[in-house]
Amino acid sequence: MDHIPIIKVGEFLLVSIQVDMHDRLAMRLQDDLTTQLIKTRAQGVLIDISSLDIVDSFIGRMIGNIASMMSILGAETVVVGMRPAVAITIVELGLSLSNVRTALNVDKGIGLLRVLVNSIGNEGSRHDNYQK
Amino acid sequence: MTIIKSEVLPLFTDDDLVKVRQAVRAWMIEQEFSLVTQTKMVTASSELGRNMVVYGGGGCARLECLNDFDRRGIRVIFEDQGPGIADISQALTDGFTTGDGLGLGLGLGGAKRLVNDFEIWSEPGHGTRVTITMWK
């Protein structure tokens, strides 16, 4: 698999990482997501990592980078479905993922994205939204 | 202590890194380590393997299944003939990275925290060997 599929659901982009991520695939996801965000004018990104059996510092940095890029482009990012063993491991590893919003599952993640996007306000241009 | 079985895997690309992670996972499952312990060992292996691919010019990972009296262990030895590490204690510090690090500089120190035993040998100009072991 050369790309991780990105699906548009309403005003959000949905990414479900189902494969054992090698590093190039992770880098490509950053590029694809920024391109799709601009193309679809989506306001939020949901990343489902329930299939990932590890998150190491590289994948952690990639997730953090995506959240930062989306934020600069005026969209919110929520990461859902982290396995308990992965959560325990990344804390001991020293990863904080402090700039990443998380939710337990896809349903709660969509709910959180709606709240985040609505609290920013929907009127005006994307750039205006980011400034508010 | 006896080595019950061992296997050497090449480690030069990020595809090799995925294979090493999968092999470490399979060996941990075979020895019935808990899910959290498996995850810690695979994550530590991923950090050390990536260091080797990115900074050490690649090398190999040697997996060993150990029997030490009444306990079993999985040991992974990462060895490269790369530039080596001049200051090991500095390299073990969180946040330390040379140049454009791909991670967060958590590789060595983070891996050390995740496993039971951690040993590092390095000689500038000759290479680096990192050994991690998980016991049950």
Six token digits for residue A12:
């959000």
The more confidently predicted of residues A78 and B92 is: A78
Alpha helix (H) ranges present in B56-106? 88-91
The more confidently predicted of residues A101 and A127 is: A101
Quick check: B113 and A93 CB within 8 A?
yes
Quick check: B43 and A23 CB within 8 A?
no
Q: How many domains does chain B have?
A: 1
Report the CATH number at residue B29: 3.30.565.10
Q: Is A94 on the interface with B (CB under 8 A)?
A: yes
Which structural domain, as residue segments, surrounds residue B44?
A: 2-135
Kindly report the nearest CA distance between residue A24 and chain B, in angstroms: 8
How confident is the prediction for chain A on average, in pLDDT? 88
| Chain B residues close to A94, C-beta within 8 Å | 94, 104, 106, 109-110, 113
Task: Please compute the mean of the pLDDT values over residues A7-22 and round it to a whole number.
Answer: 88
Confidence of residue A20 (pLDDT cuts 50, 70, 90): confident
* Contact yes or no for B114/A89 (Cβ under 8 A): yes
pLDDT digits (tens, 9 = 90+) for A39-59: 999 999 999 999 999 999 888
| Chain A residues close to B35, C-beta within 8 Å | 85
Q: Is A61 on the interface with B (CB under 8 A)?
A: yes
Task: Please compute the mean of the pLDDT values over residues A76-91 and round it to a whole number.
Answer: 96
Q: Other CB atoms closer than 10 Å to residue A52's CB: what's the count?
A: 19
pLDDT digits (tens, 9 = 90+) for B94-127: 777 665 555 556 678 899 999 999 999 999 999 9
| Chain B residues close to A51, C-beta within 8 Å | none
Q: Concatenate the DSSP letters of all residues of A20-77 into one string.
A: ---HHHHHHHHHHHHHHHHHHT-SEEEEE-TT-S---HHHHHHHHHHHHHHHHTT-EE
| Chain A residues close to B39, C-beta within 8 Å | 53-54, 83, 85-86, 88-89
Q: Is A27 on the interface with B (CB under 8 A)?
A: no
Residue A85 has pLDDT above 90, yes or no: yes
| Sign of the Cα pseudo-torsion (B49, A48, A7, B22, in order) | positive
Beta-strand pair B59-68/A101-103 = unpaired
Kindly report the nearest CA distance between residue A73 and chain B, in angstroms: 23
Q: Is B94 on the interface with A (CB under 8 A)?
A: yes
> What pLDDT score was predicted for residue A21?
76
Q: Which residue in this structure is represented by tokens 């609505």?
A: A118
| Chain A residues close to B25, C-beta within 8 Å | 53
Q: Which residue in this structure is represented by tokens 């695939």?
A: A25
Task: Please compute the mean of the pLDDT values over residues A83-88 and round it to a whole number.
Answer: 96
Domains assigned to chain A: 6-131 (3.30.750.24)
> What pLDDT score was predicted for residue A34?
94
* Burial annotation B61-77 (CB, 10 A radius, 16+ → b, else e): bbbbbbeeeeebbbbbb
pLDDT digits (tens, 9 = 90+) for B43-89: 999 999 999 998 899 999 999 999 999 899 999 999 999 999 888 88
Nearest CA in chain B to A19: B18
Task: Please compute the mean of the pLDDT values over residues A67-92 and round it to a whole number.
Answer: 95
Element at B130 (helix H, strand E): strand B127-135
3-state secondary structure chain B: CEEEEEEEEEECCHHHHHHHHHHHHHHHHHCCCCHHHHHHHHHHHHHHHHHHHHHCCCEEEEEEEEEECCEEEEEEEEEECCCCCCCHHHHCCCCCCCCCCCCCCCHHHHHHHHCCEEEEEEECCCEEEEEEEEEC
Q: Is A2 on the interface with B (CB under 8 A)?
A: no
Phi-psi region of B65 (alpha: psi -120 to 50; beta: other; left: phi over 0): beta
